[in-house]
């Protein structure tokens, strides 16, 4: 039972997870584009198998530790969606020599040369900037063509990530960014094909744009990850509802102060992500929920996060009437960051009964 678990720990509601997976699948089925789920948030083979829905499709990862872990559990088609470096290329080559099909990402001429020079077959996507200005080349740039020429037959396609969709505040804004994302990567693919290059993969996506895209013409796959779990920030940008948040942190009450409740989940257990600060509803470091994962404490939020202490400002209309040792759950601002501190999920199915323990792969 949840009440018997050591705290702080990570709780995953499998029923909500399954519902979130079905919702994204339906959204993309409508547009006729397959999903390559991003496992950077979940980092769990059990979640990956649910996300793949029993199909043999590929996944996306953000660390080579994830790639090694998932390959070790039988998944071979893996996109490593972080710019590759020479040292990491050696690890990729070792995986591919063992039977994996790891596709790497680059926007750098030197790395394109290094990929092309590998004796082992390593294929790459060229990263395209669709407006975030983080990584990638402009779809109209000469550099795009230069990279393709350097990669030669190692070119697998193009990829973009509209991370700036997280700055949107309305569905219409997200839909517009999704269209710009699609347009940029599809245009890059068209230019390359017109120049005689084979472009197998045209990859786009983020959870917001995958959910709210209206047209994916020219895209061969979408990537998304946090949609599986949801979080308070996703709720604020209308990508998820609060009751669709699948992951919470279980915490114990360790003290009381006037209008405040102290818990044993602080910055390490919750993260210090404050992404909802810029949204209409600031949830501090997380929203306090009752042991059933319901908002039984009103708007009680974690207003301070020390290393191992969290301070909850109680909602005067819904007091947290728990003794020291009593337990509650906290919904996170940013599930990816919160989950990263934990090595396992305690799995429930819509109630307080723990039905499984699923381990995570952390590190790099």
pLDDT tens column, 303-358? 999 999 999 999 999 999 999 999 999 999 999 999 999 999 999 999 999 999 99
Give CATH for domain 2-10+246-359.
Answer: 2.40.37.20
Lowest-confidence region among 45-59, 88-102, 281-295: 45-59
213 pLDDT band (50/70/90 cuts)? Answer: confident
d(CA 140, CA 202) in angstroms, rounded, equals 16
What is the predicted pLDDT for the residue at 32? Answer: 94
**3-state DSSP call for residue 6?**
coil
Cα–Cα nearest to 125, from 135, 164, 289, 49: 135
Token digits of residue 249: 């942190």
Tokens representing residue 134 in the block: 């983080």
Contact between 39 and 60 under an 8 Å Cβ cutoff? The reply is: yes
pTM flag (> 0.75): yes
* Contacts of 295 by beta carbon, 8 Å cutoff, 6+ apart: 242, 287, 289
Rounded Cα gap, residues 297 and 26, in angstroms: 33
Residue range(s) occupied by CATH 3.20.20.10 in the chain: 33-229
What stretch(es) of the chain map to CATH 2.40.37.20?
2-10+246-359
Residues above pLDDT 70, as percent of the chain: 99
Q: Kindly provide the b/e burial profile for residues 63-76, where b requires at least 16 CB atoms within 10 angstroms of the residue's own CB.
A: bbebbbbbbeeebb
Give the mean model confidence (pLDDT) for residues 222-251.
93
pLDDT of 322 reads 96
Architecture of the structural domain at 33-229: Alpha-Beta Barrel (3.20)
Give tens-digit pLDDT for 105-145: 999 999 999 999 998 889 999 999 987 878 899 999 999 99
Q: Please, are residues 46 and 74 in contact by the beta-carbon 8 Å criterion?
A: no
Whether the link from the prior residue into 152 is cis, omega within 30° of 0, is: no
DSSP 241-296: -GGG--EEEEEEEEEEETTEEEES--HHHH----GGGGSSS--BT-EEE-TTSS-T
């Amino acid at each position: 039972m949840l009440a018997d678990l050591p705290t702080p720990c990570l709780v995953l509601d499998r029923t909500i997870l399954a519902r979130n997976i079905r919702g994204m699948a339906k959204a993309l089925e409508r547009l006729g584009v397959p999903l390559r789920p991003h496992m950077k948030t979940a980092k769990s083979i059990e979640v990956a198998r649910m996300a793949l829905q029993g199909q043999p499709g590929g996944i996306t990862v953000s660390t080579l530790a994830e790639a090694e872990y998932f390959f070790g559990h039988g998944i071979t088609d893996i996109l490593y969606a972080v710019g590759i470096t020479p040292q990491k290329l050696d690890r990729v080559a070792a995986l591919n020599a063992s039977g994996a099909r790891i596709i790497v990402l680059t926007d750098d001429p030197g790395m394109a040369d290094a990929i092309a020079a590998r004796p082992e077959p390593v294929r790459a996507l060229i990263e395209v900037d669709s407006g975030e200005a983080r990584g990638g080349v402009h779809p109209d740039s000469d550099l795009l063509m230069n990279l393709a020429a350097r990669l030669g037959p190692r070119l697998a396609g193009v990829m973009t990530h509209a991370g700036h969709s997280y700055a949107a505040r309305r569905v219409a804004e997200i839909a517009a960014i999704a269209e710009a994302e699609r347009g940029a990567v599809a245009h890059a693919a068209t230019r390359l094909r017109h120049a005689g290059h084979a472009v197998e993969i045209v990859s786009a996506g983020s959870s917001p744009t995958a959910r709210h895209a209206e047209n994916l013409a020219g895209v061969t796959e979408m990537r998304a990850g946090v949609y599986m779990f949801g979080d308070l920030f996703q709720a604020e940008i209308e990508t998820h509802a609060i009751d669709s948040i699948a992951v919470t942190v279980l915490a114990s009450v360790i003290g009381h102060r006037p209008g405040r409740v102290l818990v044993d989940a602080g910055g390490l257990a919750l993260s210090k992500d404050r992404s909802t600060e810029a949204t209409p509803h600031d949830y501090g470091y997380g929203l306090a929920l009752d042991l059933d994962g319901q908002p039984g404490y009103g708007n009680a939020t974690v207003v301070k996060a020390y290393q191992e202490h969290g301070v909850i400002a109680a909602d005067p209309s819904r007091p947290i009437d728990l003794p020291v040792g009593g337990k509650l759950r906290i919904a996170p601002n940013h599930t990816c960051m919160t989950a990263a501190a934990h090595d396992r999920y305690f799995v429930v199915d819509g109630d307080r009964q723990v039905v499984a323990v699923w381990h995570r792969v952390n590190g790099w």
